[in-house]
Structure 1
């Protein structure tokens, strides 16, 4: 009987090999493209989150800065006016009547021992300083008048010693005199006025005025 020769497995054609290789490459590229798209989306989300976080941080920082600025302004305003003496007892008040005064009392009295340091309640320029009320009359004794930037005037009277001269600039809280008992005075104290002019007769309630600038008497 004739013998059969075993048949060999068919080899894949070159066309099929090229097609399979192309498919594999395409699959790989597609995966890479999908992976790249995912990375791009993730990067976009991350960038968006950073922008949002940055905007929130800036808003909080801006608000904190505004609050700090407002607080500083309020503190500066309060610190720009001070008491004329550090420790005192209030005595005769503004508008009080009696035989001690030709009219009504024109200021607020601070009962303090003679020699107590007297301070400028606000920065300004000395426009009056001397005996006989610095020109306002002997009842005031030794006195000082300071003009402030808003054309408000502060007056200090019955002083035992004057420590400033006319034309001198003084700072808020600066020492200007020593309290005393000169002029028409029933005992050691500082007579203090707030005026609308440098002269007698233009006084306003000094306690009420100081309250408007943050100083409680």
Structure 2
């Protein structure tokens, strides 16, 4: 009987072994699947983390660029405003300077000759103005803006010693006179501006050579003259 049982037991044992092997294999498969799944989860998590980090870096770079652009624009705007302010200040300063120095010499490139209040045989009284030695036909300009009140020969009414002359009325009771002219180019009542052409220098009247006789007066007429050089220098003119 034992001979009959032995094969059965042997077959049962073989079946158990096979079942055990299958179980082991199944367990290994399950374990392997779990490991693969875990590895896949880890890979996905790592990829997601890398993508998020990249997105953060991209956003940070974009924000940094935007901040830099804004700073550059702000700096440029500030520089533009500063430049505009400087130009405005310069223009204001130039206008103020022009307004302050509103008197000029009546001629250019001259040499001062007979001075104010100088005595001599050329005049019945002391010299009433300042002489500017210049060539015949030199341009004569208004020393300051005003209105022409006297022109013509005979000193424009002040006497033949002045020759051809012009008198201009300025503000604050001040007048300027230009004498010994070779030509008069303005008329009575004409309004002239500072530095405007009014005549040409000459040698008319009581004159020893071409020059401009220039006076500053407190009235339009002879006898009210003051020192023209001191007057002009007080107005900022280099004489």
CA contact 1:129–1:165 (8 Å) conserved in 2: yes
From 166, 176, 189, the counterpart of 2:199: 176
Which structure would you say has the larger Rg? 2
Distance 1:113 1:36 in 2: 82
Within 1, Cα distance between the matches of 2:73 and 2:200? 61
Note if 1:121 corresponds to 2:143.
yes
- Would you say how many aligned residue pairs link Structure 1 and Structure 2? 215
Instruction: Find 1:144's aligned residue among 139, 162, 166.
Output: 166
Calculate the TM-score normalised by the size of structure 1: 0.73
Distance in 1 (CA, whole Å) between partners of 2:218 and 2:150 is 14
Compute the TM-score of the two structures, normalised by the length of structure 2: 0.67
User: Aligned pair in 2 of structure 1 residues 87, 31: CA closer, same or farther (>3 Å)?
Assistant: closer
Match of 1:38 in 2: 60
Structure 2 unaligned segments of length 5 or more: list them: 1-12
Higher helix share: 2
More off after superposition, 153-162 vs 66-75: 66-75
1:127: Cα distance to partner? 0.8
CA separation in 2, counterparts of 1:29 and 1:150? 86
Query: For 2:150, what is the secondary structure of its paired residue?
Result: strand
Name the CA distance, whole Å, in 2 between partners of 1:173 and 1:87. Answer: 16
Asked if 2 retains the 8 angstrom alpha-carbon contact of 1:82 and 1:173, the reply is: no
CA distance in 2 between partners of 1:28 and 1:87 (Å): 85
Q: Does the 8 Å contact 2:175/2:217 carry over to 1?
A: yes
Structure 2 counterpart of 1:108: 130
Cα shift at 1:129: 0.7
Describe the superposition over 1:43-84 as per-residue Cα deviations: whole angstroms up to 9, x where unpaired: 353145314522442254135414642564377559965433
Question: Do 1:115 and 1:180's aligned partners in 2 also have CA atoms closer than 8 Å?
Answer: no
Which residue in 1 is equivalent to 2:71? 49
Distance 1:113 1:29, change over 3 A: closer
- Let me know the Cα RMSD of the aligned residues: 3.8
